[in-house]
Amino acid sequence: MSTQASLYDEVCRVLIAMLGEDGAARQADLSPSTPLQSLGMDSVRYINLLLSLEGIIGKELDEVAEYIDLSEIITVGDLVTLVERLRDLLWESDMSDSELEMQVLMPSEEDIANYQRNGYYVSKQILSDELIAAAREGSERLYRCEYDERFAWSDNPRVDPNFGVPFTDRSLTRADGYASFHSFGLRDLARLPIISAIAATLIGAREIRYWKDQLIYKPPARGTAENEGVIGFHQDKRYWATCKSDRMITAWIPLHDCSTQNGCLVMIRGSHRWRNNHALVTFDEKNMDFIKAKLINTEGDELVEVPLELKRGQVSFHDCYTIHGSYANLSDSPRRTLSVHLQDGENRYRNLNFLSKEKPVFQHSHDLICRKAANGFPDYSDPEIFPTLYSVAADND
């Protein structure tokens, strides 16, 4: 805190010096939320200001230019955060270029606080065009039933039922599990280090393991059926009753720009705190009004829908209790996305079979294919099915 306060003072000192006498007069009313524009900043002044801060940053501006986005520096507080990040980057002198780049793309303290408050986060543009193109190509291959790799369970209808719809049928919205096992292009995306590193940062986990994925295809709505293509508001965790963890998190990866026009993901702000929503196993329910009016228990809060409009290369993250869904695709092109669901390293299998002795009440398809732990229960750390994608220990090696 004291370091942050003194950095703030140092940055203000430079700012005021740069503004000259006018700046000195404003010193008293400067605060972290003061818009820089209200101080008469234009882009030339911004650059000069940053140049004046080189001494505090500890490096010449051109060496860190690629990590600076002027459009993100709106307030005095943003400026201080930027200076702090640039300084932190450069203290890590043994970092490789790719590690430095990764650090710049990570969520800030403020982003983490917002994730905790709202239950979701939208990343910067973290995916390359090549990676997305390979994932799209991989998904097309799958829709032609061309698998890059097969497993003993690949044809087991209880593991990957595709809701009984053959891969080649894309007339209606479809969600295909285990896609990242069967396609290398999708696997590279699902297991991308920066995605799991962001997830770990958002939930404060030391380890992230893959949990599952869904390749979702939402064709343009044909107009006749009003709710066609709707993915009902639901809570992911309701599908994962056998998981002990309450900190699971989903990375939602569009393979192109996503907007309300083509049925982007919609979050209900702050709903990750609404835990009395056991009915929300409603991915397949098409009537959003019914879900909102009859099923969602807002626990006294206001229900606020937030459409997440993303540019290609951005990824959104949501808490396993955040209520979310999506409306119809009203564009002319299919909406293509990959949802990657992640578990923290502490997640374990939870045995709910006491509810019925004859037949498991809750059985995830993973339970049929993963190895068993010493107690005979499914082992949710089986590296074949749940590879570790991030770990602090590995990072420090």
329 binds ligand AKG (CB under 6 A): no
Please give the Cα distance from 92 to 81 (Å, whole number).
17
182 or 324: CB nearest ligand AKG = 324
179 binds ligand AKG (CB under 6 A): no
271 binds ligand AKG (CB under 6 A): no
Contact 384, 378 (CB under 8 A): no
Q: How far is CA 281 from the centre of its chain?
A: 21
β-sheet bridge partners, residue 106? none
Q: Is 306 helix (H, G, I), strand (E, B) or coil?
A: strand
Element (H, E) at 340: strand 335-344
User: Sign of torsion, CA 362 366 367 373?
Assistant: negative
14 or 126: CB nearest ligand AKG = 126
The tokens describing 165, both together, are: 């719809």
70, 134, 172, 118: which is closest to 316 by C-alpha?
118
Taking the complex as a whole, the smallest distance from the CB of residue 210 to ligand AKG amounts, in Å, to 14
Taking the complex as a whole, the smallest distance from the CB of residue 178 to ligand AKG amounts, in Å, to 15
Taking the complex as a whole, the smallest distance from the CB of residue 200 to ligand AKG amounts, in Å, to 18
Site for ligand AKG in 222-261 (CB under 6 A): 231, 236, 250, 252
Binding mask 288-327 for ligand AKG (x = CB under 6 A): ------------------------------------x-x-
From candidates 12, 64, 265, 370, binder to ligand AKG by CB under 6 A: 265
Taking the complex as a whole, the smallest distance from the CB of residue 326 to ligand AKG amounts, in Å, to 3
216 binds ligand AKG (CB under 6 A): yes
Please give the Cα distance from 61 to 47 (Å, whole number).
9
Total interface residues for ligand AKG by CB under 6 A: 10
277 binds ligand AKG (CB under 6 A): no
Torsion of CA 55, 56, 62, 63, to 10 degrees: 110
Q: How far is CA 288 from each of CA 217, 232, 301, 307, 324, rounded to the nearest angstrom?
A: 19, 6, 18, 14, 11
Mutual orientation of helices 97-105 and 193-203 as an angle, nearest 10°?
50
141 or 218: CB nearest ligand AKG = 218
Site for ligand AKG in 158-177 (CB under 6 A): none
Taking the complex as a whole, the smallest distance from the CB of residue 177 to ligand AKG amounts, in Å, to 12
- Write down the residue that tokens 């037949």 correspond to: 359
Q: Which residues of this chain interact with ligand AKG, rule CB under 6 A? A: 216, 231, 236, 250, 252, 265, 324, 326, 337, 339
